[in-house]
Structure 1
Amino acid sequence: MRPDARAAAVAIAGLCTFLNLYTPQAILPALADSFAVPLPRTGLTITAPLLAVALVAPFVGTISDRLGRKRLIVAACFGLAVPTLLIAGAGSLDAMVALRFVQGLMLPFIFAVTVAYIGDECPGGSGIRAAGSYAQGTIFGGFAGRFVAGVAADLGGWRMAFVVIGAVTVLAAVAVAALLPRERNFHAVGGGVRGTLRTYREHLTNPRLLATCGVGFGMLFSMVATFTYVNFYLAAPPFGLAPAQLGLVFTVYLLGMVTTSAATRLAVRIGRRRTMAIVVSLASAGLLLTLAPSLPLVIAGLAGLAGGLFVVQALSLGFIAASVPRAKSTAVGLYVTTYYIGGALGGVVPGLLWHLAGWAGVVGLLVPLLAAVLGLALSFWHTAPA
């Protein structure tokens, strides 16, 4: 099969994941009104799937390293549609949170296994480009999920959004099944429990992998914190944005598609560390710009943040494949666990600072965290070539 078909397949797999993961973010105020709950409690709809992913991801790596890649990816894409459609009929916030948790159980079988597939089938520079295609799919999926939810909440209520997203998920599963070639370079990891423990021991003593896990933790913590609490910031005076307008704010995600494409090419030329320095600086500057009391400047700042952090994600995924010699799916599972723990904490930890200092308190937490992310990359990513 042609490389462009494979790139399209991994991009669609990424879209399927993030289309579902962050759907409620644009409609959190609407959910609070619908279920008559405080605004911060609606953040559980974001935290629940992230926690589920973090719990399941290590086991997904072990399963995939034994059974293969494509069959798990396709089955998870179809399985994900079921809880998505059921959410449309949720009668309470607790029921919605439970179904969101079930969604999260499906996601690592797409995310982690697709990245491992790229590591197996796309060596060298092609791996960077394939990871970039996957990242672009996740970016568009993240935008589309939030955008559809925001518009649907204004036009027909938030429940219709999950019906539409469930249908799109089914179509995405069909496309992945048709376009993704079966793996050719996969080698099953044997050895039973002892072999599995030996694999984890190798990964947990790999400083490059552990540093990359730290980068992923900080990246998703920052992204979830920003695009959760900025909704409360923009829904309140002086901005007063409605759900559909909040959904449109997420068009800034599309800049990430442009920056990821350009930055992955740049990383091939100048290396990951230099590229990381550029994009983390962009993200930090964008975050600081959101403090300006002007909606256009806030949007510009969010665009800079998204444009920078999505590149961090693509570079991290590509680096795992370059730094782990075997059992790549298990390595990705460890990365995904720390990545989504970061996302889960990003949905709740900044809440205290939000109550104490508002949006400025959230920004004050995230800027030093991004500096730490850059420090990890500069310290540990020099040992593997781009």
Structure 2
Amino acid sequence: MPTATLRASDDALLAAGSQSSLSSSSLKPQRGVFPVFLCGMLAFLELYCTQPMLPMLAHVFHASEASVSGTISASTFGVAISAALLALFGERLDRKKTIVASMVALAICTLLTATATSLPVLALWRMLQGLITPGVFILTIAYVTEEWPPLEVPRVMSYYVGGTVFGGFLGRISAGILAERLGWRPIFLVLGILGLFGAALAQRVLPPARPKERRIKSASPFTPVLANLQNPRLLATFGIGFCMLYTLISIFSYITFYLAAAPFHLSTAELSWLFTVYLCGLAATLAAGTVLARVGLRHGMVTAIGFCLGGLMLTLVPSLPVIGLGLAMASSGVFISQTCANSFLRDAAPAGSRVSAAGMYICSYYIGGTVGGILPAAAWRMAGWPGCVSLTSTLLITAGLLAFFGWKKRTAAPDPIPL
């Protein structure tokens, strides 16, 4: 059966059954969003926790900025590899079982990271953390797009992204504060224990996915991947994802070196407090989730990118309050863009290939994050923080152009979510 026909049939089923499903399922808006928020939070507790510790790690291991930034790039590289595998095989996995099992494995790996005796070994453990993490958040993205009606997806996705923001904030700020007082190892013990507790809680509160009335089965796991690679709207989304995580990683990794030096001289603990700006991003993301279905995902994405670009420019002003405002704007823009992109996957990808599309998007997103931890090192050496800002601005402009020209409405069976 042609893809367009399958898609139209799938959308018709969703439209006809969305109200009854929402009322009869345990996934009602008030109760269903907490497990989604929890999954997002636990997936990102450990992923970026070394960011506020980068200047400290450079001193402890007598390493360069580029070398210690590898503790970030190693984890994002692991995510990219794992996401590519999930793009192939994720459609066949049980949503809840995979999410909870991945949480347990991630917590154990985080505990073992505290045993690292050198920077290469630390980077290896960080890569293993990255390999496990997509089992949590890629399946959660698919879970949201499959379990809620189309008009509810942006709002519920905003809670998931809000959870990732809060988890990233909690991991970074606790890492910076504990590292300055106790050294870098205890943070992995604390975050690992939190991860085990969170996995037990997720097992209890996360409802299993509802049985599907019909699944589209592919003869090969490569079939949905190849179809997605021929979809211009998805290709634009993958490109946007690359640019946006590049932006977040490059800004929040290299700003630590900038602010640790003259004239600011911030300590490791003080650098960790920079990530309180994530709470602004959390609030902005949750607020955006209530209006994206009305203003449109395309307009929301372009606005978020513009907001991020404006915030990045403010970080060039040599004033800590202004830099803080700029970081708040930039992070908010990235988080809102993530909500838009994750929600857009439901419209751009046909039923039966949405886990594959989410996996490919996350793969591209984290390849961007890996490059964002490495490439700005050259700009830093040549021109310092202004060089990093110039390079990152180029990627943001590229993302804006991809959203404006690449997110076109499909002609048949459009979803109720406006673009």
1:1-386 matches, cutoff 5 A = 1=26, 2-186=28-212, 190-191=217-218, 194-326=219-351, 327-383=353-409, 385-386=417-418
Which one is further off, 350-359 or 277-286?
A: 277-286
TM-superposed CA distance for 1:168, in Å, is: 1.0
Unaligned runs of 5+ in 2: 1-25
State the 1:61 CA deviation.
Answer: 3.1
Query: In the aligned structure 2, how far is the partner of 1:328 from the partner of 1:179?
Result: 24
Q: 1:236-295: per-residue Cα shift (whole Å, max 9, x none)?
A: 000000000000000001111111112122211111122223222211111000001111
How much does 1:332 deviate?
A: 0.6
1:61 touches 1:113 (CA, 8 Å); kept in 2?
Answer: no
TM-score norm. by structure 2 comes to: 0.89
Q: Give the stretch that moved more between structures: 237-246 or 36-45.
A: 36-45
Whichever structure has more helix as a proportion of its residues is: 1
Q: How far 1:308 moved relative to its partner?
A: 1.0
Q: Is the deviation greater in 31-40 or in 363-372?
A: 31-40
Return the letter of the residue paired with 2:49.
Answer: T
Given the superposition, is the C-alpha separation of residues 195 and 96 from structure 1 closer, same or farther in structure 2, using an over 3 Å criterion? same
- Amino acid of the residue matched to residue 341 of structure 2? S
Q: TM-score, normalised by structure 1?
A: 0.96
Identity %: 38
Say if 2:53 and 2:176, in contact at 8 Å, map to a contact too.
yes
After superposition, the Cα gap between the structure-2 partners of 1:120 and 1:185, relative to the gap in structure 1 and judged at 3 Å, is: farther
| Secondary structure at the counterpart of residue 265 of structure 2 | coil
CA distance in 2, matches of 1:44, 1:4: 40
Cα distance in structure 2, aligned partners of 1:371 and 1:38: 30
Structure 1 SS opposite 2:221? helix
* C-alpha contact (below 8 Å) 2:87/2:225 kept by paired residues: no
SS where residue 12 of structure 1 aligns?
helix
Higher radius of gyration, 1 or 2: 2
The answer on whether the counterparts of 1:88 and 1:160 sit within 8 Å (CA) in structure 2 is yes
1:336 shift after superposition: 0.8
- Checking the alignment, whether the CA contact within 8 Å between 1:61 and 1:112 is kept in structure 2 is no
Equivalence for 2:20: none
8 Å Cα contact 1:5-1:179 kept in structure 2: no
Across the two proteins, how many residue pairs are aligned to each other? 384
Moved more, 298-307 or 374-383: 374-383
- Counterparts in 2 of 1:172 and 1:188: CA distance versus 1, 3 Å: farther
Q: Deviations over 1:46-104 (max 9, x none)?
A: 01111111112122133331122111001000100111111112111111111111101
Please say which of residues 181-190 and 98-107 is displaced more in the overlay: 181-190
Cα deviation for residue 107 of structure 1 reads 0.8
Contact in 2 for aligned 1:68/1:188 (Cα 8 Å)? no
